[in-house]
Amino acid sequence: MESWIKTRNKIIGWNYRNILKPILFKFDPEDIHDLFIKVGNLLGQTSATRYLTRVLFDYENPVLEQEILGIKFKNPVGLSAGFDKNARLTKILPAVGFGFAEAGSVTGRPCKGNEGRHLWRLPKSKSLIVYYGLTNDGAEAIARRLLEVQLQVSPKLDFEQEAKGPEVGLRAHLKSNFLHKSNFVLGISLAKTNDQKTITTEAGTADYIKAYEAFLKTDVGDYFTINISCPNTFGGEPFVEPERLDLLLSAFAKIRDEESARGLPSVKAKEVQLQVSPKLDFVSVNRPLFIKLPPDLSEEKLDAIIELVKKYKINGFVSTNLTKDRNNPLIKDKIKDPLPTDKGGLSGKIVEELATKQIEYIYKKIKDLPQTERPIIIGCGGIFTAQDAYNKIKAGASLLQLITGMIFEGPQVISEINQGLVTLLQKDGYKNISEAVGKSTCQP
């Protein structure tokens, strides 16, 4: 089976890189992205197309399985936030081979994003310039969409039907169907709406919390990521400043404490117990919270953020988002294409070293904490091969995310990375991927 999967991946990869990609790269990248969202959504609609996709792309091996923060991951490779902005691909992503995915980023209100062009390719650099500015349908619409998908709720049902009686409409459907949720791990990336209304700390915090509560009220999402690092928003990245971040994390902690005080159960390994009020005001709380960081932070600022993460018991980091510092000497020689714009953030191979260095730095700071208190690191940035993935795992990442690698190498790259990781782990004598986490960072 292993040799068959390797052959399958080689054939699909060769055809993608030599036939399909040259055609796709002749068109505007945003148009191609939108096309793939439509195709992925279509493929997810039937069991037959999901099965065929799984045959072409999936890979499983117990060496890659982990339980992290009470959630079971079949493999460590996830889809990063920024690709499935409006959570339209959740039915097909498991079949493509991902161990998890992160939807969004999602904001408190619907967000059109930035004006003009949003995406450029840098083929020689194996990178993208991204300038979307958090384009999404807003938290309430996306939470409802995911609720319909996960619980197989008819789009014709709506919350107002609750007024007709205790066993009518959506609430009755939930009572009988809440155990039918997908086993695919889905994270939700949260951000503040990209406009002038959220420029103050108070308004920005309120917008984050509005988005967070929309998903809590619909019991959607296995974990949440607080994205403080989008480089393309009005007012920049205000919450990377420790004083403002303190206020933001305090607000999230308050929501957690309030829900814990109500005695509602936390979510563990998809075993969900729902308490449904007549107004459908139910929440499963204490799902993991991560914070997504930019790669350009100074050590002083990173130290302050680590302390805040410990103070508010945030469960982990996503390292990292895009880089916007084009003058950073660590990326100068990695930019091999003329830059068509000074807007946006850079992804892919350009950010790879920055992300890995941040993972190493954070892991060194947290590795001596008790295991129950140690934050988890999700590594993101420049992952194109199994070796790229392994480097981040050995630097300290327990999980991984990618987008750009898939765009340049093809959808079979998820399977290639996972199968390659098994080979690398076995070569080094590890029986499970968790044993390799942080090993290069721990060496003297």
The reported pLDDT for the residue numbered 231 is: 78
What residue type is 33 in one-letter code? H
Tokens of 137: 């349908």
Q: What is the per-residue burial (b if ≥16 Cβ within 10 Å, else e) of 291-315?
A: bbbbbbbeeebbebbbebbeebebb
Residue 130 φ then ψ, to 5° = -120, 130
- Give the pLDDT score at 183: 79
Count Cβ neighbours within 10 Å for each residue of 329-364 and write b for 16 or more, e otherwise: ebbeebbeeeeeeebbbbbbbbbbbbbbebbbbbbe
Mean pLDDT, rounded, of the chain: 88
388: nearest Cα among 126, 120, 167, 142: 126
Beta-strand relationship, 127-130 and 345-346: antiparallel
- Which of 282, 340, 309, 289 lies closest to 119, judged by CA? 340
Q: In what order do the strands lie in the sheet with 345-346?
A: 119-122, 127-130, 345-346
**Structural domains present in the chain:** 2-442 (3.20.20.70)
Give the integer Cα–Cα distance in Å for 381 and 276: 40
Quote the pLDDT of residue 230.
85
pLDDT value, residue 74: 97
Q: Pick the closest to residue 306 from 208, 403, 205, 396 (CA basis).
A: 396
Q: Tell me what pLDDT residue 234 has.
A: 77
Q: What is the pLDDT along the chain (444 residues), one digit of tens a residue?
A: 899 999 999 999 999 999 999 999 999 999 999 999 999 999 999 999 999 999 999 999 999 999 999 999 999 999 999 999 999 999 999 999 999 999 999 999 999 999 999 999 999 999 999 999 999 999 999 999 999 887 653 344 443 444 444 333 344 444 333 333 457 999 999 999 999 999 999 999 999 999 999 999 988 999 999 999 987 787 888 999 999 999 999 999 999 888 766 654 443 333 333 333 333 344 445 799 999 999 999 999 999 999 999 999 999 999 999 999 999 999 999 999 999 999 999 999 999 999 999 999 999 999 999 999 999 999 999 999 999 999 999 999 999 999 999 999 999 999 999 999 999 999 999 999 999 999 997 766
Q: Which of 79, 31, 1 is nearest to 401 (CA)?
A: 79
**Cα gap 144→216, rounded to integer Å:** 11
In the structure encoding, which two tokens stand for residue 22, read together? Answer: 């040259």
- Give residue-wise pLDDT tens across range 166-202: 333 344 444 333 333 457 999 999 999 999 999 999 9
Q: What does the pLDDT look like over 126-160, one tens digit per residue?
A: 999 999 999 999 999 999 999 988 765 334 444 34
